[in-house]
Structure 1
Amino acid sequence: MRSLEFWFDFSSGYAFFAAQRIDAIAVGLGRTVLWRPYMLGTAYKVTGARGLSSTPLKRDYARRDWARIARHQGLTFQLPANHPHVALAATRAFYWVETQHPELAAAFAKRVFTLYFNDSLDTASPEAVSRLAPEFGLKPGALLAGIADPALKEKVRRIGEDAVARGVFGSPFFIVDEEPFWGWDRMEMMTEWVRTGGW
């Protein structure tokens, strides 16, 4: 089956909501999901944009909107203190898990999202992220070493830069059949595009 690429930053509220639905959408389309965390700051360097939580007016609106979406979807959602965190440790951990145990990668990403937006997981802390390892039958020390591996660090940097070079600039961001869709609110359009063959 062809993949539906799901690009996101672990600190993105809208990506959290997209993560709750993306698997079901993909199944309905006969696709698999390629989970692809990256550092949104990489895109900001190119676009000159700022994150919602760093932008006056947009910050207040986004927080109201996230709370509204959570109520509508029946989800628990609580921003951690000092949001947004720079989720580099969590991103590196994901790619280590994907490399070592690809069958666990999507579940690991979902767990990071849940803990960040409900239990204040410090996604910037390698030690905090490594404590998730036993939930997946992994050793914290191995995950911690993986996060610190220079080769993995380079891989994560390259993945983010390659994504931006392909036009990825937001979170969540989807690519399906080379067609880009930016934003949680484009998921229905993306679904219809694939089902109809586009327009």
Structure 2
Amino acid sequence: MKHITFYLDFVSPYAWLAFERLPQALEGLSYSVEYRPVLLGALLQQQGNPGPAGIAPKRDWTYRHVTWLGHALGVPLHMPARHPFKPLPLLRQALACSHDGSINRFTAGTLLRHVWQGGHDALDATRLEQLAQALAPQVQPGDDDGARAKALLRSNTDAAAARGVFGVPAFEVDGKLFWGLDGLPMLRAYLEGDAWFATGWDAAASVEKGIPG
């Protein structure tokens, strides 16, 4: 059985789509998944990447694209009332449900649906309180001031960056990183033992840079 680490930030619509599609994409295979919340903004900043929302025409395209993808894939996706937004309250709420930086699928799904279903404000105070109540049975004891959740988020994000994660959703298995919703077929091929990975994986990334940087 292969073990997959799924890096996600609830601010990402592609993370929501990939979360929903993962069971279908890997149907019939033997694997386990751990969900690791990370701060996407920190990963983007480290790479000098403004992200889709930082480029106005790309922002428009991204929102149209993900909404269409939800429609095409049969995954309910409604843009929240404001986006992008600062996801720290959601990430810390998620990691209040963890003792080691990983969260279960129920917790991840609850937070993603909070953002990506209904078209509401993800940071509305009343909705955040309702979210906290829904996750209360998952909350781990001993972190009344939230310090552990904050530390876990920093640790997760730093560890993800060290592993080469540059965006979300990202999936790590056997030290290999697969990025994005459209990386799911490639992930499946690897789990199925596609012979291409024996030579193609390293060879494809060994091309010499044509422009120094």
Q: 1:118 Cα shift?
A: 1.6
Q: 1:26 Cα shift?
A: 4.8
Q: Which residue of 2 aligns with 1:108?
A: 107
C-alpha root-mean-square deviation of aligned residues, in Å? Answer: 2.7
Q: Distance in 1 between matches of 2:191 and 2:180?
A: 16
The number of residues matched between the two structures is 194
Deviations 1:175-196 (A, max 9, x none): 1111111111110011101212
Q: Does the CA-based 8 Å contact 1:89-1:126 persist in structure 2?
A: no
Q: TM-score, normalised by structure 2?
A: 0.79
Q: Does the CA-based 8 Å contact 1:4-1:175 persist in structure 2?
A: yes
Pairing 1:64-75 to 2, within 5 Å after superposition: 64-75=64-75
Task: Name which of 164, 167, 170 aligns with 2:164.
Answer: 167
Q: 1:24 to 1:133 in 2, by over 3 A?
A: farther
Q: Which residue of 2 aligns with 1:178?
A: 175
Q: Aligned with 2:7: secondary structure?
A: strand
Pairing 1:21-60 to 2, within 5 Å after superposition: 21-26=21-26, 28-60=28-60
Q: Which residue of 2 aligns with 1:156?
A: 153
Structure 1: state its 5+ residue gaps. Answer: none
Q: Does the CA-based 8 Å contact 1:80-1:120 persist in structure 2?
A: yes
- 1:90 matched to 2:90? The reply is yes
Deviations 1:46-70 (A, max 9, x none): 1000121221221111112112111
Identity of aligned residues (%): 26
More helix, by proportion: 1
Letter in 2 for 1:85: F
Q: 1:118 to 1:3 in 2, by over 3 A?
A: same
Q: Which residue of 2 aligns with 1:78?
A: 78
Q: 1:130 Cα shift?
A: 4.3
Q: Distance in 2 between matches of 1:147 and 1:42?
A: 25
Letter in 2 for 1:184: L
Q: 1:124 to 1:168 in 2, by over 3 A?
A: farther
Q: TM-score, normalised by structure 1?
A: 0.84
Q: Aligned with 2:86: secondary structure?
A: coil
Q: Does the CA-based 8 Å contact 1:26-1:33 persist in structure 2?
A: no
Q: Distance in 1 between matches of 2:44 and 2:130?
A: 30
Q: 1:93 to 1:136 in 2, by over 3 A?
A: closer
